[in-house]
Structures are given as structure tokens and as C-alpha cells.
Structure 1
Amino acid sequence: MEEAKIQPAAVTSRKLPKEFKYYFIFMGPAILLFSSLFVIPFFGEIYYSFTNWNGIDQTYGMVGINNYFRTFQDKGYWKSVWFTIRFSALSVLFSNLIAFCWAYILSKPIPFRNFWRAVIFLPRIIGGVVLGYLWRFIFQNAFVQFGQATGLSWFSQNWFTTPESSFTALVIVFTWTLSGYLMLIYSAGFASIPGDLQEAAIVDGASPLQVLKNVIIPMIMPSITQCLFIAINWTMLLYDTNISLTDGNPYRSSEGVTMNIYATAYRSNQIGYGAAKSCIFIVIIVAITMIQIYATSKREVEL
């Protein structure tokens, strides 16, 4: 009996080095790349946020938390934060609603389902900068001509001359490009729902709306959690589309946080001050995403 207990432990101890070797082979490059691109720059950013480095000189001084005090007193920075939060809230809401509806429709046995999924996902393939310039042309030309032909003044307005129209344009573009990607995640969630649960609810007399509310939505809460997390992070980190579509105009009223941080760090050559702004913004993003994950993950249903 004692030998039988000792022998598995000895076999396990001989297998561990091989397992760790395989872990290192497959996970090592990803961990190294992640550390090089994210972890090390993040700690470097924290360090530079306590300095007055301008990004050019080889010498700099330590200023403590003065950069953070400057950030809390910077009205332009907090204006961009508020703009980003409003933009993210609407973009996350609309993109998830549209993606959910598309996934729900395409979960039914309709003709050419895969073709329609590919068409809906297509906007995500277009890059952020190209996407911005493409939609800028649409807003300034196609929408204007359509509005003039139909008499609908909403389409023929000058889209980038007022803060409200620039904000609306950004929400439309980002909702259009994000909903296709989220649709795929929701489609996977719909595919994982056991068919007998919906059939049992229908047999019991549940209406389609009751099935959706009491069966489908609770069962795809993991997909909802994931989609909300992705949408919040992508919208909060908006930059390339913001640059190419509005460039912060008019008068920096459509400037996102990342644009404000970039302008401070690289256009004004205040790397330390920009790093402090970035660190505060990271805290805001982490707080929002943690609240979202907590609020949605506790509603998930396990089979």
C-alpha cells in the first residue's frame, strides 16, 4: 500500500519538468510580447508621471505628484474625459443592442445566414483611420446630397461644425463598425443555448418575448459580459477614428481623452504631465470595467 502511494508522486514529479517546458514553449513568446508591449511601458509610464521630462532632453527632474495636481486642475482634460464617457455610453449601448438583434435574427434558420454574417462583420475589417476618412466623405457628400434630394435637413446639416453633430457622427461610425464584431460573439452565445430549453418553454405556453427574457438572455449572459467589456475598452480608447473623422473639431469639443493625452505628451513635449493624465485615465477605465464585470457576471447562469 505504501509503494502504491509513493509511485504516482514519483511519476508526477518526473512529468513536471516536461510540462513546464511545454508551457514555456507555447506561452513564453506571448508572455514576453505582452510584457514588452504593455507591462514594462506601463510601469515606465508610472515612473515618468513623477518627472518633468519633455521627451527630448536626456536629463529630467523629479516633481513628485505635481503632475497629478495639474491634471485635476486641467479643465480641458476633464472635458475630454466627460466627452469620452458620454460617447462610450451611447456607443456601447447602441452597438450591443444592434449586435444582439442581428445575432438573434441570424440564429433563426433563414437563407444565406453565413453570407449575412460576413456582410455585417465587414466594417470591422476596415482600419480606424481609413474608416474615419471614409465616413467623413459620406457625411460631407453622400448625406448632404441625400438630405437635399429628400428634404431631410438632418442629413444635409454641416456635420463637423457643431459639437452636437460631431459627437453624433462619432457615435454613428463607431456603432457601425463595432456591432458587427460583437454580433459574432452573441451568435456564439445563441449557438450554445440548448434547444430543448426553448422548446420546453414554448410547450409550457411561453410567448417569444417571454422565451427571450426568461431563457435566452440569462443563458447568454457570459456573452453579454464579454461584449460589454470589449465595447467599453474599445470606445474608451478611441483615437484613430477620432483623429481622422473630427480631429477634435470644432474647437476641441469632440476631443477624446487619448487625443488630449497625446497632444500634451508629444505636441506640447510634456511627457511627464501626459503620463500622469494617462495613469488617471487608466484608473477610470479599470474602475468602470470592474463595475461592469461585477454587475453582469453575477447574473450569469450555469448549466
Structure 2
Amino acid sequence: MISMVGKSIRRWWALFALPTCAAFAIGFVAPFVIGVYLSFTKFTTVTDAEWVGLSNYAGVFSDPEFIHALWMTVAFTVVTTIIINVAAFFVAYMFTKAMKGANLFRSVFFMPNLIGGIVLGYIWQLLLNGVLAHWGRSLTYSAVYGFWGMVILVCWQQIGYMMVIYIAGLQALPTDVMEAAAVDGANSRQTLFKVTIPLMMPSITVCSFLTVTNGFKLFDQNLALTNGAPSNMSEMLALNIYRTFYGRIGYEGVGQAKAVVFFIIVAVIAVIQNKLTTSKEVEA
């Protein structure tokens, strides 16, 4: 028998769902559709778009700076995903053990995530250039320095956030399974790799998804830390798209086509990554 609350929900659900659906359509669906259309045109404003077909996409893949930014972004994402998740899991594992001041240390590790990317970029630019100055170098001297500078910055910023997710996952582990492993004589290493990590796969799925997408979407830290120097060699995909769209007159259509390609790449990689990690999840 349907309760009064259930009847009210069935009667008025559209009234409550409509504002959210309208906001989603106006704020995401409509701009996305318009953006895809503009990627096939030459334009300076939305009203003067002129259809040019696939020529913008030809310009995307013939741009050596875009290809370089793509491979640099892929390398950056792989490195940061591994470092962030391994370090965050290790820190979370340590903090779930009985230790004094664990809550304080958790707060300290999480605090970098509260600072904006632009601010972090300028702070780490000063710090890293101060270290490199001893060898007469700077972050903008070589793309290698810029690459590893961004790796250090992003890992420092995101480890604390992923740590919180892993702590929640570790605290939710079924105690009976852990106790059964101890009774069966499993040592700490066997318990970690044979029991804890397999049961932690839902948390690993979430954290790896976030780090992969964050790595590909990195923009503000890249802009503040190196600004693409030297000669756009430390430029990531998001910054390359921004420069194409706003920095090259007449290339707005190419910049929009790059944005569409960027969306497709991130979506495909995120779906594949999510499928791979989800397939390894086990039932508690």
C-alpha cells in the first residue's frame, strides 16, 4: 500500500526535478551541442559562424604543438595517477592504525587541497626556482623541469584529498574478514595484498578516476607554474586549447575542435579506466 509520502512524490516529482533538469540543459547540454557545431565552423562570435566541415579537425592533428601537449599530458597523467594513489593509500593505511595525533596529521595532509591552483602554482614556482637557482636553472629553462615541477605540485595538492577517500574505505572494511585472515595465519603483507587491497577496489576506482581526469584537465597550475615555457614545450592540453582559442586570431574554430577532441579523449580513457578497475572489485 502506497504511503502518503509516496503519493506526494509520485504527484509532484516533476515540480522538483524540473529546475535541476532545466539547469543541466541550459548549463551543459546546450553549450555542449553549440560547441560541437562551432567546431565545424569558422567564427569569431556565435552569430557569424560559417560552415567549413572537417577542416578545423585537420588543423588539430596537423598542429605539432597539440600533439606534443597530448603526449605530455598522457605522460603526466600516468605518473601522477600512480604516485598520488600509491602515496595516498600508504598514508591512509598508516593513519588508520592506532597512533597519536592521527586526526591532526590528516588535516595537515588535506589542507593543500583547499588552496586554489593558481596560488599553488605561484608558490611552487618560487620554491622550485629557489632550489634550481643553485644550478643556474629555472622551471622555464627546460620542459623536463616544468614537467616534474607540475608533478610535484599536483601530487602535493591531491594526495590529501585521495587519502580521505581511502581512509573512509579502510574504515568500512568488514572486520570479520580481517579477523578470519588473522586466524588463518596471514601476516600483515599477505593481509594487505590478498585481503585489504581487493576489498578496497571501489575506493581505488573512485580515486584513480579522479586522478586520471584531473591530470588531463590540468590548467591553472600549468598556467601559473610554467605558462608553457620554454616555447610551449611544457604546455598541457587544456593550456594549448586556451592559447589556440584566445591567442590566435582566426583559429577559434580550431580551438573549439581541439576542445571536442579533448572531451572525447578524456571520456574514452575515463570509461576504460573505470571498466578496468570496476572489473577487479570483489564482494565483501
* TM tier relative to shorter chain: over 0.9
Give the Cα–Cα distance (whole angstroms) in 2 for the partners of residues 178 and 116 of structure 1: 15
Give the number of equivalent residue pairs. 283
User: Equivalents in 1 of 2:171, 2:19: separation in Å?
Assistant: 33
Q: Normalising by the residue count of structure 2, what TM-score does the alignment of the two structures yield?
A: 0.93
Greater shift in the superposed pair: 66-75 or 185-194: 66-75
Per-residue displacement from partner, 1:176-223 (whole Å, max 9, x unpaired)?
Answer: 101111001111110110122112212211111100011100111000
Match of 1:235 among 203, 215, 219: 215
2:226 maps to: 246
SS for the counterpart of 2:232 is: coil
- 1:18 lines up with 2:9 in the alignment: yes
Name the counterpart of 1:54.
44
The residue aligned with 1:124 is 113
* 1:66-110 deviations in Å (ceiling 9; x for gaps): 111221222111111111111111011101111001110011111
- Checking the alignment, whether the CA contact within 8 Å between 2:38 and 2:49 is kept in structure 1 is no
1:173 aligns with 2:153: yes
Please tell me the residue identity of whatever aligns with 2:95.
Answer: L
Cα drift, residue 167 of structure 1: 0.6
Question: Aligned to 1:282, which of 238, 263, 266?
Answer: 263
Aligned equivalents of 2:32, 2:208: Cα separation in 1: 24
> Cα 1:24–1:241, aligned 2, differ >3 Å: closer, same or farther?
farther
In 1, the alpha carbon distance for the partners of 2:246 and 2:137 equals 34
Q: Which residue number in structure 2 is paired with residue 98 of structure 1?
A: 87
Q: Residue 34 of structure 2 aligns to which amino acid in structure 1? A: G
| Residue pairs, 1:152-163, within 5 angstroms | 157-163=137-143
The amino acid that maps onto 1:68 is: Y
Deviation at 1:28, TM superposition (A): 4.4
CA distance in 2, matches of 1:97, 1:280: 30
State the secondary structure of the residue aligned to 2:234. Answer: coil
- SS of match in other structure, 1:252: coil
Matched with 2:30 is: 40
Match of 1:222 among 195, 202, 206: 202
The letter for the 2-side match of 1:200 is: A
User: Judging changes above 3 Å, is the alpha-carbon distance between structure 1 residues 30 and 110 closer, same or farther for their aligned structure 2 residues?
Assistant: farther
Mapped to 2, the partners of 1:75 and 1:202 lie a distance apart of 56
CA displacement at 1:59 relative to structure 2: 1.9
CA distance in 1, matches of 2:278, 2:85: 16
Structure 1 alignment gaps of length 5 or more: 1-7
Between the aligned partners of 2:116 and 2:262, the Cα distance in structure 1 is 24
Distance 1:271 1:20 in 2: 47
The question of 1:211 aligning with 2:191 is answered yes
What residue identity is the alignment partner of 2:217? L
Do the aligned residues in 1 keep the contact of 2:228 with 2:236 (CA within 8 Å)? yes
Letter in 2 for 1:48: L
Between the aligned residues of both structures, percent identity stands at: 34
Instruction: Name the residue aligned to 1:69.
Output: 58
Q: Is it true that 1:299 corresponds to 2:280 in the alignment?
A: yes
Give the distance between the partners of 1:144 and 1:272, measured in 2 at CA: 39
User: Is residue 265 of structure 1 aligned with residue 254 of structure 2?
Assistant: no
Partners of 1:119 and 1:195 in 2: how far apart?
Answer: 28
Alignment partners' CA distance in 1, 2:224 and 2:98: 40
Q: TM-score, normalised by structure 1?
A: 0.87
One-letter code aligned to 1:294? K
Q: Per-residue displacement from partner, 1:32-75 (whole Å, max 9, x unpaired)? A: 433333222111110100110023x8423101111112212221
CA distance in 1, matches of 2:15, 2:98: 44
2:41 is paired with a residue whose SS is coil
CA distance in 1, matches of 2:28, 2:227: 26
Alignment RMSD, CA only?
A: 2.1
Moved over 6 A (4+): none
Q: 5+ residue gaps in structure 2?
A: none
Contact 2:139–2:226, Cα closer than 8 Å, also in 1: no
**Which of structures 1 and 2 has the bigger CA Rg?**
1
Task: Provide the C-alpha distance between the structure 2 equivalents of 1:282 and 1:259, rounded to a whole number of angstroms.
Answer: 14
